[in-house]
Every structure is written in structure tokens, then in C-alpha cells.
Amino acid sequence: MSQIEETNLINTHEAQQFDVVVIGGGMVGAACALGLHKVGYKVLVIERHPPTRLWFSASDYSPRVSALTRASENILRNLGAWQGIQDRRLHPFVAMRIWEANADEEVVFEAQSVREANLGYVVENNLIQSAIWDEMVKAEVAVMTGCELSSLEYDDTLYKSKIVLQSGQTVFADLVIGADGAFSQVRQMAGIGLDQHDYAQCAVVGCVRTEGSHQDTCWQRYREEGPFAFLAMEQNVSSIAWYLPIQKMQWAMGLSDEAYRDEIFKASEGRLGRIVETWERAAFPLTRRHAQHYIQSGLVLVGDAAHTVHPQAGQGVNLGLLDAASLVEVLTQAKEWRERPGDFSVLRRYERWRRGDNLVVQRAMEGFDWLFEPDRGVKDQIRGKLLSFGNIVKPAKNWLIKQALNGREPLPKLAKIQHVSLFK
């Protein structure tokens, strides 16, 4: 378990000044805080939950996992957090197989076809967060945990934000980073609107042990009710993502262990054999959200606070980490050019960089959703053709693999260069 040492905790009732205050110490917020601290900003992280929720046990599996791309791996390596993940648990996957229920066609993406060792890693979210927090602790980034926001105001004569907590503590910052997730209070307090679409679907997630091996492969089957996926975790252990109409969420969460195992077997067409063991499950209603703006003077949104996407292609935190790396790069340059980090013109560079990319991914997920929703007509034919086309036209498939693995240009430096620390 990560130990947040006393030195990192701010416990004073005197108002404090920081260059940057990050609200929300999840994977994305913590990555921003660590990166900005490393380039010389005075940073404070305010996190609602105490860090006891972080990864704690190798004999248990947390229900929430992410499939990390090479770009995310590079970012975490450059931040110094990759070793902490490797030391605990991560699993590379070398292939991805996608097929449609009751159809013969299957598309297979393989790492070796693009001369890569793998197509990414499956890692538990709280483990990623723990590894970054450990680095924050070592670097002595200031943190406040277990606290709630009371108000947030920007003073455009002082160029500073005033953050008041429910405890009465006050903090001043040149820049506030809203990294407080999909239901961002920072976004609401800043009055930033949201475009959203309810998928009327939920995802049930959790780890399972299967009779057969996952073969270091992620498996995704498209069914009438929504996709079903196995993400390779450890020997014969996979994380599942079982998509269902939202009306079935309570039913799925209320299933006995035995009935749950049977339903997973059916949803996966028994591809990995019987389900022999299950761990804690969780369910999430799915909504696409996009903040109408990512920035205001003195304030910026990152990660799920700015955008959420359908998780079927496992892009959410990968996009968030690209937000973090891009913001660190923009603010590093601002420091060199002696600009204020909260200036609208500085933050606009970040917004221009990231908003379009996030929008493209959201739209692509929408396209997938449209294509794979139940239909007995033309969509069935398009799907069949696409799946067989995907297997035949190798250059197109390899291009897709590289885009998904490495991210789209222009990439931030932290996402590009592996094994080289950019913070020297």
C-alpha cells in the first residue's frame, strides 16, 4: 500500500500559495501533478478520497482495469512510475480477436505483424494510480486528502484562483487543473457546459479465472445486447467487460456467483472454457461526455473531467494520459517563455492540441456502436465485409494497429520516447 508521508500532507489553516493545484488525484490528475512538479512548478494535489483505496494485494484482483497503449507506457516510464507497475502486476497482450456472434468472420490483430513485442498491457487502475502516487511521495509533491471543495473563484486582477475547502482551508493557485473525473465538480463550479449522450448501456466488469488459457490475447465478441470482452490479466485470469442494456444492470449485479459464471460462459460463447472462479464485480452506466470548453483563464480540464468515451476500445485513460503529457509540455514551454501558466493564450495551446483528438476517438466509438447495434439488414452486410476486409487488407490493418498503439500525431514528447527520462 502506498504510504502518504506526513511531509506531503498540508495540514495548516493558513492560506497557501501554489503555482498549480490539481483537483482529483486519479491516474490522470496524479500524472499531471508529477510531471509539472518535475519541471519545477510548485504543485498541490487535492484528492477527495484517502489513499487507502489504492492497490493493496497481489492475491486479489480489482474490478477496474485499463488496457494501456504504448503511448501511455512511455508517459508512465518517463514519469518514473512504470517500474512500480512492473514490480506489482501487469500483463502484456500480443493479439486481439474480434468476432461477431453467430457469424464466421473474425478479425485478428497481432503484435508481430507490426514488429512489436505486444499490443499493450492490462493493468488495474488502482495499481497505476498507486505507482504514480508513490513517485509523488518520493518527489515530495504536496497533497491534501479526504477533503471537499466548497468554492472556486478566479480573480482576474490578481490572475489567481481561490479554492476554499469545506474545512475552511483556503488555497491560492495560478492554475487549477480539474482532474476530478466524469462528474467533475470543478467543471460544474466553472460553469462549463457538457455535450452528452446516454448509451442506455452498462458495463459489468471484474476478473475471472477460466478453464482455458487466454493465450495472451484480448477477445471481443459483438452480441445483440452489446460487446463482451476478455482482457488477458494473468495465467488463465482475464478481466471481463460485459456490456448490457442499462435495464439489466441490477439483474447482472444481483446474480449468484454460479449464475454469473454461467452467464459469462454464454456471453463469451465459451471461448475460454468454463469460468472457474470470479472476483469482485462492478457495473457502470455508459455515457459519452464532452466538455464544451477545456479551459478558462486560470483553469483547465483533463481526463474524464473533460471527456468520457465508450470503453469498448479501451481508450479513456489513454486519452487522459495524453492530455496530461500535452499539458505538461505546454506548461514547460510556458515556463521557458516566462508566461503565466493560467493565461488563456497558454491554455488555448493545450485545448487546440487535445480537443480535436479526443473528438475523433469519441466519434469513432460512435461509429462502432452504430455498426454493431442489432440489425438484420445492410449493417450486417457491411460488418461482415469489414471483418473479412480487415483480415485481407494487411496494410490497412497494420495502420490501425499502429494508430491505436502509439496514438495519433502530433504526440507529446513524453508519449514518444521510451526509457529516456525527459526530466533532467
Ligand X SMILES: Cc1cc2nc3c(=O)[nH]c(=O)nc-3n(C[C@H](O)[C@H](O)[C@H](O)COP(=O)(O)OP(=O)(O)OC[C@H]3O[C@@H](n4cnc5c(N)ncnc54)[C@H](O)[C@@H]3O)c2cc1C
- Return residues touching ligand X (CB under 6 A): 23-29, 46-49, 66-67, 125, 149, 179-181, 185, 203, 205, 241, 284, 303-304, 311, 314-318, 320
Shortest distance (Å) from residue 150 CB to ligand X? 10
Q: Please list the alpha-helical segments (H only) found in 46-170.
A: 70-79, 82-88, 125-138
- Nearest residue (CB) to ligand X, 250 versus 333: 250
Shortest distance (Å) from residue 381 CB to ligand X? 30
Shortest distance (Å) from residue 204 CB to ligand X? 8
Of 13, 28, 47, 107, the closest CA to residue 385 belongs to: 107
Shortest distance (Å) from residue 201 CB to ligand X? 10
Distances, alpha carbon 147 to alpha carbons 28, 133, 143, 282, 299, in Å: 19, 17, 11, 25, 20
Shortest distance (Å) from residue 49 CB to ligand X? 4
- Nearest residue (CB) to ligand X, 125 versus 170: 125
Query: Which residue type is seen at 260?
Result: Y
Shortest distance (Å) from residue 88 CB to ligand X? 18
Shortest distance (Å) from residue 265 CB to ligand X? 20
Number of H helices, E strands in the chain: 12, 19
136 within 8 A of 143, measured Cβ to Cβ: yes
- Nearest residue (CB) to ligand X, 26 versus 298: 26
Distance CA 317, CA 332 (A): 22
> Distance of alpha carbon 380 from its chain centroid, rounded?
31
Shortest distance (Å) from residue 45 CB to ligand X? 9
- Nearest residue (CB) to ligand X, 205 versus 264: 205
207 within 8 A of 63, measured Cβ to Cβ: yes
- Nearest residue (CB) to ligand X, 48 versus 271: 48
Q: Provide CB contacts within 8 A for 5, sequence distance 6+.
A: 137
DSSP letter for each residue of 143-173? EEES--EEEEEEETTTTEEEEEETTS-EEEE
Distance CA 226, CA 243 (A): 5
- Nearest residue (CB) to ligand X, 221 versus 382: 221
- Nearest residue (CB) to ligand X, 119 versus 179: 179
- Nearest residue (CB) to ligand X, 314 versus 341: 314
319 within 8 A of 361, measured Cβ to Cβ: yes
Residue length of the chain: 424
